[in-house]
Amino acid sequence: MNNIKFIDFCAGIGGGRIGLENLGLSCLGFFEIDKDAEITYKYFFGQDEQNYGDLMKINPDDLPNFDFMVGGFPCQTFSIIGTRCGLDDETRGQVIYGLVKILKAKNVKYFILENVKGLISHDKGRTLETVLELLDNAGYKVYYETLNSLNFGVPQMRERIYLVGIQKELIDDSFKYEFPKKYTGENHSLEDCLIDNDELIFDEKLPSYQTFLKYLDNKYNKGKYSINEIVSKEYTVIDTRQSDLRIYHEKTPTLRRGRHGILYVKNGKFKKLSGYEALLLQNFPKRYANKVKDKISNSKLLQQSGNAMTSTVIEEIAKNLMKAIGKIDD
């Protein structure tokens, strides 16, 4: 499928790109306005990679012709933890209009777009209806579904809505796209992902540990947990939310740009989740994660991983699309 060309929109650090390249599709460049994310992206894929910058400012005529758009368009305005102003947001919410403009101008055949689950309920469903109407009017048959990364080879709970589109003129009334229901690839456990040997031990030597003890004693958590109880089981994952503590086994909560308070138990001690480990929880292969270890700060990698797409989810969605249009055999 090297003849299918794609451009990576709102690329972040390239989770979507990895998914498509795993199927043999070829990337012609990317769009990303976050300079820190761009640095990480180029560590992964090469310093000569073309960043087209701000998609809202690009003249589509300046882009090469391409077949496939992949993009995780900004989700903060639709998220339950974001502002939820949606399409009224003057910057992030309007990006969908820029994407549709490029789809039409470049006659793009297929797309996969990702957003937070909150898009479905935002403004009582009217925001999603508007997005679907925009894409329909642009000439695309669109399918959407909420998928959880936990079902695609990684031990991370991450529900996202995925929109798959194909030009109507390429299909007939009998065409049907089905989202992947079962993942048959390699499944990674917490033990596979939580392997960073850097000394991110979280113990009484750190001032923040004393804050953690006070947190355990607040009105939400008082009397519920003890340190000895928590550390008694290896790979227990602890999410120190603003109020109540949440504990997970065999999985982590959703990685988010602003959530850096995830701890876990290893060798009977608390450790902080590292940026390297966060990449593995998004199914970035180790060969990519190793390129940025000790080059990109831990806090930045945590942020960027929280914004990234899970590569295997995109790969499986695209694989089903390629099967549906006859580009690959079952």
Catalytic residue among 10, 27, 75, 193: 75
Backbone angles phi, psi at 172, to 5 degrees: -115, -175
**Token duo for residue 255:** 């990685």
* 51 neighbors 30 (Cβ within 8 angstroms): yes
Distance of CA 84 to the CA centre of its chain: 19
* 28 neighbors 5 (Cβ within 8 angstroms): yes
What residues are paired with 5 via a beta bridge? 26
CB atoms near residue 57 (< 10 Å): 9
Residue 224 Rama label (left phi>0; alpha psi -120 to 50; beta): alpha
Is residue 75 annotated as a catalytic residue, yes or no? yes
The three state secondary structure string of the chain is CCCCEEEEECCCCCHHHHHHHCCCCEEEEECCCCHHHHHHHHHHHCCCCCECCCCCCCCHHHCCCCCEEEECCCCCCCCCCCCCCHHHCCCCCCHHHHHHHHHHHCCCCEEEEEEECHHHHHHHHHHHHHHHHHHHHCCEEEEEEEEEHHHCCCCECCEEEEEEEEEHHHCCCCCCCCCCCCCCCCCCCHHHHCCCCCCCECCCCCHHHHHHHHHHCCCCCCCCCCHHHHCCCCCCEEEECCCCEEEECCCECCCCCCCCCEEEEECCEEEECCHHHHHHHCCCCHHHHHHHCCCCCHHHHHHHHHHCCCHHHHHHHHHHHHHHCCCCCC
Residues labelled as active-site residues: 75
